[in-house]
Chains A and B, each alone.
Chain A
C-alpha cells in the first residue's frame, strides 16, 4: 500500500463508487488507499508506504494464519465484514496461545461498490485492530468488473508470538480432560441468518464477533501448563469443532445438553429455522480443553473476563475408538453430535 501524495480533489466518499481505475495501479488507486485504508488503519509501518512491512519480532515461536472473508450480508447486527476479518484472524492466532502482532489485508472490490460502505468497513477494521492491539501493516487492493464479486471480499494474514513453554494443539486432548465453552453458542450464525432478506425474520440477536486474545492471555497466565488446546468454533458450530478435536486427539467426547449456554432468542430462532445451535457459527467464542485439576480455576478466570462471563463446563474427554462426540440430551437420552452434512446455509464468514 503506497501512501498517497496530496492532491487537490478528495475522494467523494459520501456519493462515489469503486470503479475499475481504483484497481489499476494509477493515481486513483493511490488515492483510494490513502484516503480510505491508510487513514483508518493509521500506523507507523503502513505509513512507510512500502510494498511490504519490515519489523523485528519479540522472542518466542511465530504463529501465522490466513483467512478469507466473503460474508453475506456485508453488514449484520453486531458487526460487518471488516470487524469480522480482524476478529477472525486475531482469534486464529490466539487459539495457539499466541499474542497477535500484525495483520495484512487484501481487498477484492466489485466495480460499483459504494465508497461510503468501503469507508465504514475500513473504519470498523481499524477500530477492531486497535481494540485487539494489532496493526494492519500491509495490504493490497484489486477491483473486478461488476458481477465478478459480491461487493467486497477480504483476505487477511496474521502473525503472532507464542510464549515459550506453551504448546496448544488439536491432538493434545486426553481422556479425563475437561471441556469448557466461553459463552453462549450460535449467536453469530443466527444474527447473519436473521438479516438475510428472504428470511422474513427479525430478532434482537447480535453477532458475537470479538477478538479473544485478551481472554486467552488471562487463561494462559492462570492455567498455561494445564491447557491442552483452544479452538474457536466458527463455521459448523461447536459440533464441527468437537468432532475435529475428537479425531485429531483420537478420543471420544461426552457433553451435556443441559450445560450448554444458549440464548433463549437463539434457541427460538433455531427452532423456527430447523437448525441446531450446536451447528451454528460463532465468531467470538472458544472451546478450551484443560486437565481436570485446573478446570475450576480456568472457569473462574474465564468468567472474570468480559468476553467469558457465561463460560461453562460442558463435558469431558473419554477413551473411544470410534471418536464419537456423544451428548446426553436434556430429555434424558443419548445421541451423537455430528458434523453437519451438506445443508444449504448462507455465507456466514
Chain B
C-alpha cells in the first residue's frame, strides 16, 4: 500500500530503535505521554514497546474522546434518545459506553429507542431531510478533528432550512486537557513526565503553535507525530534527544500534514458556530475551565441542549473502575482490579475498555500477553 507501508517499515524501525538504545542515558527513566488514543492504539497494535529500551516508558494520555466523556453526558444522550419522536445519530464507538445503572445506547436501542449509527454528520443530515417527522439529534463528540464536521452540519442545516436537526455538542479542546495535566498541583496524583508525543490529526487542524506554552512555561518537550508506528518511534527519538540536550521545544515530526498555523478555514468555520464553554467535566480530569465548546446563541435552533432542555447531572463511575486515574496517566490498565476480570471489551465497565483507542482496550486487545511474561520475569 503506497504512502502507508513506508511508515510501517520494520527495517527502518529497527534502525531507529537501535539509535534510541544507543542514545538513552542508562541512569535516566524517560517518561513520555502520548496524548492521543490514536498513538496509544498504534503503539499497542504494532508492538512498539518491544522495540524500546526498558528505561523509555510510554504513558497513555487522555486523548480518547469516547473515554473522557463523563457518565453524566452519556446519561443525557441516552435520555435524549428515549424522547418520543427523537432519532439519535451517533458514531458507533459510543454505543457500548456504559452510563449509570449499566445503561448504554445499545441497551436503549434494544428497548425501542431510535438510535442509528452513522459514519459522518452528513448521514445524520440526510436522515433529517428524508424523515421530516423525526427530530434528528446528532451526538457530537470529539476533539478538534471532529468539530469542523459538526459545525458544517449546523451551517448546512441552516442553509437547508431544516427544522428537525440538532447537535448535542460535547466537543472538547486538546490544549486545555494538556494544561490540566501539566498544570496539576504537585502531589500524589501528579504524573512525572519528560515530554509529550503531540497529537497528529488534531494538530493538522490547530497547528503547532498552541503547544508552545507547554514547552516554554512547563519546560516539557512536545514532538508532534503522525499516527503511523514509524512516526511514533521517530518522535520518541526526538524526545529522547531533547531530554538529553536539556531542551524543551515544540518539534514537528508530522511535517507532511501539520503546519504552524493549522487549517485556518476549519478554524474559522468552528469559530463561526461554536464558542468556549466556561467549564466542562472530563472523565479523569474533572471539571476543566475553558476546555470545551458550545453552540453559539445565534444557532440555538440547532442546539439539542436548548431544544430539549438538557441539564447534566454529574454521575459517578463504577467505584472500582480506575478509568479516571488511567486517563491522567497515573495508573496503568493492569493496576485496575476490574481489568480483564469483569471488564473486557465484551462487557466494558469503564470507557477506556470501549473505544479501540482507550488504554485498557488497546492493552487487552494487543498487549496482554506481556502481563504473563512480566509476571514470569519478576
Residues on A facing B (Cβ under 8 Å): 198-199, 258, 264, 267-268, 271, 322, 324, 326, 328-336, 338, 341-344
Across-interface contacts of A329 in B (CB, < 8 A): 10, 45-47
CA distance A322 to B364 in the complex (A): 13
Asked whether B128 is an interface residue with its Cβ less than 8 Å from the other chain, the reply is no
Q: A332-B13, A332-B14 are in contact. Are A342 and B345 (CB under 8 A)?
A: yes
Q: Are B369 and A336 in contact, with the CB atoms below 8 A? A: yes
User: Are A331's CB and B229's CB within 8 A?
Assistant: yes
- 6 examples of A-B residue contacts, CB within 8 angstroms: A271-B4, A331-B8, A335-B46, A336-B367, A341-B344, A341-B346
Q: Taking the complex as formed, is B24 at the interface, i.e. its CB lies under 8 A from any CB of chain A?
A: no
Taking A330-B8, A331-B13 as contacts, is the C-beta distance between A338 and B366 under 8 angstroms?
yes
Kindly list chain A residues whose C-beta atoms are within 8 Å of the C-beta of B45. 329, 335
B6 at the interface (CB under 8 A from A): no
B48 part of interface (Cβ distance < 8 Å): yes
Question: Measured between C-beta atoms, what is the minimum distance from A336 to chain B in Å?
Answer: 5
Residues of B within 8 Å of A, CB-based: how many? 34
Please encode chain B, from 72 to 103, with 1 for each CB lying within 8 Å of some chain A CB and 0 for all others. 00000000000000000000100110000000
Across the interface, do B10 and A331 meet the contact criterion of CB distance under 8 Å?
yes
Taking a contact as CB atoms under 8 Å apart, the answer to whether B117 and A331 are in contact is: no
Chain B CB within 10 Å — which of A268, A322, A331, A338 has the most?
Answer: A331
Contact A264 B46 (CB under 8 A): no
Contacts of A330 in B (CB 8 A): 8, 10
* Pairwise interchain contact A324-B17, C-beta atoms closer than 8 A: no
Q: Chain A contacts of B278 at CB under 8 A?
A: none
**Which residues on A sit within 8 Å (CB–CB) of B50?**
332-334
Could you tell me the distance between the alpha carbons of A268 and B3 in the complex, rounded to whole angstroms? 10
**Contact between chains at A344 and B95 (CB < 8 Å):** yes
Whether B48 contacts A333 by the Cβ 8 Å rule is yes
Bound together, the chains give a CA A271 to CA B42 distance in angstroms of 13
Nearest Cβ in chain B — how far from A335, in angstroms?
4
Q: Which residues of A contact B8 (CB under 8 A)?
A: 330-331
Q: Contact string, B220-241, partner A, CB cutoff 8 A, digits 1/0?
A: 0000000001100000000000
Closest to A330 in B: B10
Q: Which residues of A contact B229 (CB under 8 A)?
A: 331
B31 sits at the interface (CB 8 A): no
Closest 10 CB pairs of A and B: A333-B47, A341-B345, A333-B50, A331-B46, A335-B366, A334-B47, A332-B10, A335-B47, A344-B92, A324-B369
Q: Which residue among B17, B49, B345, B346 has the maximum number of chain A CB atoms within 10 Å of its CB?
A: B345
Complex Cα distance, B48 from A215, in Å, reads: 39
A322 touches B47 (CB 8 A): no
Which residues on B sit within 8 Å (CB–CB) of A342? 96, 345-346
CA distance A336 to B51 in the complex (A): 16
Q: With an 8 A cutoff between CB atoms, is B320 at the interface?
A: no
The CA of A6 and the CA of B372, in the complex, are separated in Å by 71
Distance to closest chain B CB from A337 (angstroms): 9
The residue on B at minimum CB distance from A265 is: B1
B267 within 8 A of A: no
Q: Min CB distance, A283 to chain B, in Å?
A: 23
Residues B37-57 near A (CB distance < 8 A)? 44-51
Q: In the complex the two chains form, what is the Cα distance from A127 to B268 in whole Å? A: 59
Residues of the B chain whose Cβ atoms lie less than 8 Å from the Cβ of A341: 344-346, 365
- Contact across chains for A335 and B44 when beta carbons are under 8 A apart: yes
The chain A residue with its CB closest to the CB of B96 is A342
Q: How far is the CA of A275 from the CA of B95 in the complex (A)?
A: 18
B257 to chain A, nearest CB (A): 16
Chain A residues lying within 8 Å of B369, measured Cβ to Cβ, are 322, 324, 326, 334-336
Minimum CB distance partner of B356 in chain A: A274
Residues on A with C-beta less than 8 A from B367 are 335-336
Q: List which B126-183 residues lie within 8 A (CB) of chain A.
A: none
The answer to whether A336 touches B368 (Cβ under 8 A) is: yes
| Central interface residue in A198, A267, A333, A344, by most chain B CB within 10 Å | A333
* Contact A333 to B365, CB < 8 A, known contacts A267-B1, A271-B1, A344-B117: no
CB distance from A5 to the nearest CB of B (A): 48
Report the separation of the CA atoms of residues A264 and B364 in the bound assembly, to the nearest whole angstrom.
Answer: 29
- Min CB gap A234→B, angstroms: 20
**Interface digits, B333-376 against A, CB 8 Å rule (1 contact, 0 not)?**
00000000000111000000000000000001111110010000
Q: How far is the CA of A331 from the CA of B372 in the complex (A)?
A: 22
The residue in B8, B46, B364 that gathers the most chain A C-beta atoms within 10 A of its C-beta is B46
Q: CB of B119 within 8 A of chain A?
A: yes
With CB as the reference atom, state the residue of chain A lying closest to B92.
A344
Cα-based distance from A155 to B368 in the complex (angstroms): 39
How far does the Cβ of A330 sit from chain B's closest Cβ, in whole Å?
A: 5
Determine which residue in A267, A326, A342, A344 has the highest number of CB atoms from chain B within 10 A of its CB, and name it.
Answer: A342
Q: Could you say which of A267, A329, A343 has the most chain B C-beta atoms within 10 Å of its C-beta?
A: A329
A344: nearest residue on chain B (CB-CB)? B92
Q: CB of B123 within 8 A of chain A?
A: yes
Mask, B103-129, CB within 8 Å of A = 1, is 000000000000001010001000000
**In the complex, chain A residues whose CB is within 8 Å of the CB of B119:** 198-199
Nearest chain B CB to A78's CB is how many angstroms away? 21
**Given that A322-B369, A333-B46 are known contacts, is A198 also in contact with B1, CB under 8 Å in the complex?**
no
